[in-house]
Amino acid sequence: MNTSCILAIDTSAYTTSLATMAATGELLADRRRVLHVPAGQRGLRQSDALYQHVKNLPLIYESVFSDSAALRIGAVCVSTTPRPADGSYMPVFLAGAGLARCTAAVLGVPLWEASHQEGHIWAALWSLPPYDAAALQVKDRFLAIHLSGGTTEALLVQPAEGEQRRLSLTLIGGTQDISAGQFVDRVGVALGLPFPAGPHLEILAAQAGTSTLSLPIAVNRHALSFSGPESAAQRAISAGVPKADIAKATYVCIADTLARWISHLLKTNPTDTVVLSGGVVASGLLRRLLLMQRRLNRVKLFFAAAEYSSDNAVGLAAWGVARMTNIPLLALPMRGISAAKAEGEA
């Protein structure tokens, strides 16, 4: 087996991240720096985000290699697009792509490009506990739900084929307007919380008492919508409804919407297995609410580990190792063994 490791780079809309992974699947380094969003704002312009990535990359790069000067890089993996689709483009990915290309050229190693969305799914698969990974290995297809600040999509996933081991993804559903992450962030910022608002909104939701507040559910076959629920939440804020009740109602709305949506998708797609990834899935409250959904009683739900739900380069690194070693990602012997080596930076 090749003893080289993989270097992976991801520069998403709100996180600069690098990861290195050994040929066994052991995570050697996981460095992340969340982009700064000024108080009261709901995001960054692409030019501002790109500028922050350019500033962050040398610092993270130095951190990785100062701790692991003896690393022997066998290939460099990088996300160059948001999704694996024609026309998918965001300027922020140019920062990581440029550094990856230079590194591969200097070291004389292959440069392997993939999408940010694939990285999320790979991170979920890599982080699954052994029992879940074994159960998923025998599936010939599964449904992947990607929930993040910019994306709410459902994709039918079939096993990777060929030497590249890229995922075979078919888009089968998505949001008609804002994403689940935007819903959370817009409500959170309106409540006076920092951006990204997810972790703060969840803490606030835990303080909710008995409340009759409910937000509307908008699902139309393969499509769902969060703009209506967001408007209802904004009206509740203006009406002086307790903040904690609004926070909890937001998460209940997302869980109920997803349950109805997933239930419909599975009626027309032959699988009973769903893998959820993306920053929104890091919420423990959302996970608990989804597991309580009666509509999903017969559905096998697999969640990315919370620390690998948000944007990171770990999934790209795991894909690189699977490609380099020709071992299926779900069969890597040291998948998910990372806590001692992971050092994410806020």
- Summarised one tens digit per residue, pLDDT across range 289-318 is 999 999 999 999 999 999 999 999 999 999
Mean pLDDT in residue range 104-116: 97
- Summarised one tens digit per residue, pLDDT across range 131-170 is 999 999 989 999 999 999 989 999 999 877 677 888 899 9
Q: Is the Cα torsion angle 307, 309, 314, 315 positive or negative in sign?
A: positive
pLDDT the model gives residue 68: 62
pTM: 0.93
pLDDT the model gives residue 67: 65
Given a contact cutoff of 8 angstroms between Cβ atoms, the answer to whether 290 and 300 are in contact is: no
Is the model's pLDDT at 286 over the cut of 90? yes
pLDDT the model gives residue 161: 67
- Burial class from Cβ neighbours inside 10 Å (0-12, 13-18, 19+) for residue 40 reads exposed
pLDDT the model gives residue 299: 95
Reduced to 3 states, what is the DSSP secondary structure of residue 187? helix
Domains of the chain: 1-128+311-346 (3.30.420.40), 175-303 (3.30.420.40)
Given a contact cutoff of 8 angstroms between Cβ atoms, the answer to whether 77 and 8 are in contact is: yes
Average pLDDT, the chain: 93
Six token digits for residue 8: 């992976």
Q: Which residue has the higher pLDDT, 115 or 150?
A: 115
pLDDT the model gives residue 258: 98
pLDDT the model gives residue 199: 95
Six token digits for residue 9: 């780079």
